[in-house]
Amino acid sequence: MSWPLWEVFVRPRRGLNHQHVGSLHAADAEQALRNARDLYTRREEGVSIWVVPATAISASSPEERDAFFAPAADKIYRHPTFYEVPEGAEHI
């Protein structure tokens, strides 16, 4: 009998996103939060914690890495550096 796996996300301080820091086992969400506090924030590394059942995460497959992300690769016009700005134009 093994407790389910939870993925842990910590907001290091106000103004930053939650970041994935690792995983742990716990019987339920409440215990997962307490374990996450003890495991990942013993030195004030966070001001907020999310725990998510690992089975609830859908991930893109590494095997499809090229095909899946290909649509972004040939659209360099999405970056501001693609455009020529005439001499003398300011604040653009």
Partner 1 sequence: MYGNDIPEQPGHARLLDEVAAAERDLTGRGLGGDGTEGGADDYFGAVIAADGKIEPRDEMPEAYRKSLIRQIAQHAHSEIIGMQPEGNWISRAPSLKRKAILLAKVQDEAGHGLYLYAAAETLGVDRADLYEMLLDGRQKYSSIFNYPTLTWADVGAIGWLVDGAAIVNQVPLCRCSYGPYARAMIRVCKEESFHQRQGYEILHVLANGSPEQKAMAQDAIDRWWYPSLAMFGPPDTDSTHSAQSMAWKIKRFSNDELRQKFVDMTVQQAEVLGLSLPDPDLRLGEDGHWAYTQPDYDELFTVIKGDGPCNRQRIEHRRAAWEDGAWVREAATAYAKKREGATV
What is the C-alpha to C-alpha distance for residues 89 and 58, in angstroms, rounded to an integer? Answer: 46
Q: Strands 19-25 and 48-53, how do they pair? A: unpaired
Structure tokens at 59: 């991930």
Q: Please identify which residue in 14, 15, 17, 43 interacts with partner 1, judged by CB under 8 A.
A: 43
Q: Please identify which residue in 11, 12, 18, 23 interacts with partner 1, judged by CB under 8 A.
A: 23
**Piece of the chain touching partner 1 by CB under 8 A; list 10-18, 22-30, 77-85:** 22-30
Tell which residue, 6, 34, 4, 1, has the closest CA to residue 21. Answer: 6
Taking the alpha carbons at both ends of the chain, their separation in whole angstroms is: 61
Residue 23 Cβ, how far from partner 1 at the closest point, in Å? 5
For residues 56 to 75, the per-residue mask of contacts with partner 1, x marking binding by CB under 8 A and - elsewhere, is: ---x-xxx--x---------
**Which stretches of the chain bind partner 1, using CB under 8 A?**
1-3, 5, 22-28, 31, 38-39, 42-43, 59, 61-63, 66
